[in-house]
Amino acid sequence: MAGVARKTKAKPSRPKRTKRAPPKKPGKTRRTTGATRRPSTRGSGGTRRKPAPTAPGSRGGQPPGGGAGSSAKLRIRMFRVGFGDFFLLTVPTPKGDRFILIDCGVHHTDLGSMRDAVAQMARDCGSQLALVIMTHRHADHISGFGTCRDVFAQFTVEQVWMSWLEQTSNPNAMAYQASLTTAAARMGQALAVRLAAKDDDDTRQLLAMAENITGGLDATGRSTGNQAALDVLHGGFKNKPQYCFFRAGDIPTLPPDLAAAGLTAEILGPPADPQLIKQMQNKTQQYLDANHATDQPVKSKDPFPAVFRAREEDYPKSAFKFYDARRMTQLIDAVQPDVLAAQARAADNTLNNQSLMVHFTFGGKKLLFVGDAQWGNWENFLYGGAYGPGRTALTERARTILGQLDFYKVGHHGSANATPKSAVSAMREGSAAMCSTQTGSYSGVPRLPLLEALSKTMHGQVARSDQVAVDGTAAEKTAGPLPSQFQSQGGKLFVDYQL
């Protein structure tokens, strides 16, 4: 009951835009909040210790500085799953440790460690999560919810955060997401046809982009992978959590125990553009229509009857004065645009720009989780709109936030267009970063100059998920050793950082 009271009390302070899905039945909500009480009694016994003996082998070496005196320290655990994000935050509260899960997915270069990682996470938190954050609906951020739905079915979750574009009660948002998925599914099919005809890296990468949106297709060409994961997020937990949908500028109300521990949060993205959905929907409509015309094998009839066909000899000599006929036809054949590729990339960016950007403050420490936010999303936060003539300076707020940062989750697996240089240079010197990445997935990911720039700003405190091994895959040699400020249990499965 206390939880409910707190909720109503906090309500007026929140900005109008912050929406929660209204609880279906008041009775259920009460039960939900009731459920949140349980971990407090169970968890206080030492959630951090308890799972230790059950962990297979590697759990023994608790980092010396971390465990003992640091009841006030927050721990970030990054799991290595391949090309995907999977983070668990442990927040010490007066009632014991509470847990926040940020994304759980892998897509390209799946190392097969997802199940191990989820099992480890379940032990870590005793299947009790105060908060689940889904940054955006790409397979590499949510697939784990689908593949491990049996594990998540045993979880109690207090709150789930998603972007406003995921609000099930917003028919426009839902229609938009559905059309984007359909478009991606069609692009995927077309790209698969192309790949079968000619195997090349570019096509493979584009196909991966399309599949990242759908999460893979079943035999009938219906998108299943991501839907399964979304189904879990929207109702596959043991209890019915409270759902919150945010956009830039919102100040969420955290679950009571986290709030009591002094954790606060602010949403920096995605931007709240009322026109956004409409514009994007128009685009998607065009992807759909254009796709008929691009890579589908041409079955429809020719535009003109055969009588109009001609040969180059039917043209006067003057027509080929500058370019001969062969060269001209070659040119036309060569400059046919690769619309499909542009669409696949655009769709990929669109989804990344839906990413929820969350800024946490805990015990004076500031943490920034940006999902896969790319330029559109960042620009809004950094410059208050599109970076362009007359708008090239960081806003005061962006400078403050970045200048006081203690921890940064590197966006989009360290790709070139996901962490602007201006953001890196504005970050506080000596802060730390974690980058969940995997070489050989996308060209230019992770982008080494970016990681080097981060490392320079952060005095070397940048960890990569591929600096630890998982069953069947060794640590990536080119990634170098794990910096000493981070901890890993026997160099396997996950990396920890405490602050």
Partner 1 sequence: MARQKRSAPSKAAKTGGGGGASRLAAASSVDELFVNALIPRPSERPLKIYAFDPSVGRFLGNCMMAKVRYESLDPGPVGTNFAVIDYDGTAKTFYAPVDLNSPDVMIGGGLDPSQSDPRFHQQMVYAVAMETLQRFELALGRRVRWRGVQRTSGGEYAIPRGAAQRLTLFPHAMREANAFYSPEAHGILFGYFQASQINPGRNLPGQTVFTCLSHDIIAHETTHAVLDGIREYFTEPTNIDVPAFHEAFADLAALFSHFSHKEALLDTLQKTGGELFRFHLQPEARVAPGEKVMLQDQIDQPNPLIELALQFGEASGARAGLRNALGTPPDPDDIKHKTEPHERGSILVAAVFDAYFTIYNRRTAKLFRIYRAGGGRDVPTDLPAPLADQLAAVASCIAEEFFTICARAIDYSPPLDITFGDFLRALLTSHLDLHPIDPDGVRDALMQAFRLRGIVAEGAEYFSEESLCWPKVNDSLPRVEGLAFGDPNGLTLDEKNENGDVLRAYAKKNAAALGFDSTVAPIAAASFHPMFHVGQDGSLYVSMVVELVQTVSVSLSDSDEDEADASSSLPLRSGVTLLIAQDPPENGVRPAPRVRFVIPKHRSAERTARMRSYYARTGRLLRGRDSRDHESRFQIDFSLLHAEI
> What is the C-alpha to C-alpha distance for residues 382 and 6, in angstroms, rounded to an integer?
33
Using CB under 8 A, which of 8, 12, 25, 322 touches partner 1? Answer: 322
Question: Residue 425 to residues 316, 370, 452, 472: CA-CA distances in angstroms?
Answer: 62, 17, 12, 37
Which residues in the 254-273 window bind partner 1 by CB under 8 A? 271, 273
Q: How far is the CB of 210 from partner 1 (least distance, A)?
A: 16
> Could you say whether residue 345 binds partner 1 (CB under 8 A)?
yes
- Which is closer to partner 1, CB of 24 or CB of 317? 317
- Which is closer to partner 1, CB of 237 or CB of 383? 383
> Could you say whether residue 300 binds partner 1 (CB under 8 A)?
yes
Q: Which residue has the tokens 């920034």?
A: 368
Q: How far is the CB of 410 from partner 1 (least distance, A)?
A: 15
> What is the C-alpha to C-alpha distance for residues 425 and 402, in angstroms, rounded to an integer?
9
Q: What are 156's strand-pairing partners?
A: 128
Using CB under 8 A, which of 60, 440, 449, 480 touches partner 1? Answer: 449
- Which is closer to partner 1, CB of 34 or CB of 323? 323
> Could you say whether residue 275 binds partner 1 (CB under 8 A)?
yes
- Which is closer to partner 1, CB of 193 or CB of 342? 342
Query: Do β-strands 365-369 and 357-362 pair in parallel, antiparallel, or remain unpaired?
Result: antiparallel
> Could you say whether residue 420 binds partner 1 (CB under 8 A)?
yes
Using CB under 8 A, which of 10, 174, 259, 328 touches partner 1? Answer: 328
Using CB under 8 A, which of 69, 219, 302, 364 touches partner 1? Answer: 302
Q: How far is the CB of 392 from partner 1 (least distance, A)?
A: 5
Q: How far is the CB of 403 from partner 1 (least distance, A)?
A: 18
Q: What are 433's strand-pairing partners?
A: 408, 462
> What is the C-alpha to C-alpha distance for residues 80 and 115, in angstroms, rounded to an integer?
11
Question: Residue 276 to residues 82, 271, 348: CA-CA distances in angstroms?
Answer: 32, 9, 16
Tokens read off for 460: 């070397």
> What is the C-alpha to C-alpha distance for residues 407 and 72, in angstroms, rounded to an integer?
16
> Could you say whether residue 201 binds partner 1 (CB under 8 A)?
yes
- Which is closer to partner 1, CB of 74 or CB of 209? 209
Which residues, 6 or more positions from 84, have their beta carbon under 8 angstroms from its beta carbon? 103, 105, 106, 107, 110, 139, 140, 141, 143, 144, 436, 438
Using CB under 8 A, which of 150, 218, 231, 452 touches partner 1? Answer: 452
Contact 250, 18 (CB under 8 A): yes
Using CB under 8 A, which of 5, 153, 178, 342 touches partner 1? Answer: 342
Which residues, 6 or more positions from 56, have their beta carbon under 8 angstroms from its beta carbon? none
Which residues in the 86-145 window bind partner 1 by CB under 8 A? none
Q: How far is the CB of 311 from partner 1 (least distance, A)?
A: 6
Which residues in the 276-295 window bind partner 1 by CB under 8 A? 279, 282-283, 285-286, 289-290, 292-294
> What is the C-alpha to C-alpha distance for residues 407 and 435, in angstroms, rounded to an integer?
11
Sequence letter at residue 195: L
Q: How far is the CB of 294 from partner 1 (least distance, A)?
A: 7
> What is the C-alpha to C-alpha distance for residues 497 and 481, in angstroms, rounded to an integer?
15
> What is the C-alpha to C-alpha distance for residues 52 and 62, in angstroms, rounded to an integer?
9
Q: Which residue has the tokens 């998982």?
A: 470
Backbone φ and ψ of 245, nearest 5°: -120, 125
Interface with partner 1 (CB under 8 A), residue total 74
> What is the C-alpha to C-alpha distance for residues 47 and 41, in angstroms, rounded to an integer?
11
Using CB under 8 A, which of 97, 124, 250, 379 touches partner 1? Answer: 379
> Could you say whether residue 298 binds partner 1 (CB under 8 A)?
yes
Using CB under 8 A, which of 416, 428, 473, 482 touches partner 1? Answer: 416
- Which is closer to partner 1, CB of 105 or CB of 420? 420
Tokens read off for 408: 């940064």
Q: Which stretch binds partner 1 (CB under 8 A): 64-72, 174-182, 314-322, 476-484?
A: 314-322
> What is the C-alpha to C-alpha distance for residues 214 and 191, in angstroms, rounded to an integer?
14
Sequence letter at residue 103: D
Contact 9, 39 (CB under 8 A): no
> Could you say whether residue 387 binds partner 1 (CB under 8 A)?
yes
> Could you say whether residue 338 binds partner 1 (CB under 8 A)?
yes
Q: Which stretch binds partner 1 (CB under 8 A): 147-155, 160-168, 181-189, 330-338?
A: 330-338
Contact 420, 375 (CB under 8 A): yes
Q: How far is the CB of 298 from partner 1 (least distance, A)?
A: 6
> Could you say whether residue 332 binds partner 1 (CB under 8 A)?
yes
Using CB under 8 A, which of 8, 318, 478, 484 touches partner 1? Answer: 318
Q: Which stretch binds partner 1 (CB under 8 A): 48-56, 89-97, 326-334, 361-369?
A: 326-334
> Could you say whether residue 41 binds partner 1 (CB under 8 A)?
no
Q: Which stretch binds partner 1 (CB under 8 A): 119-127, 233-241, 448-456, 486-494?
A: 448-456
Burial (Cβ within 10 Å: 0-12, 13-18, ≥19) of residue 340: buried
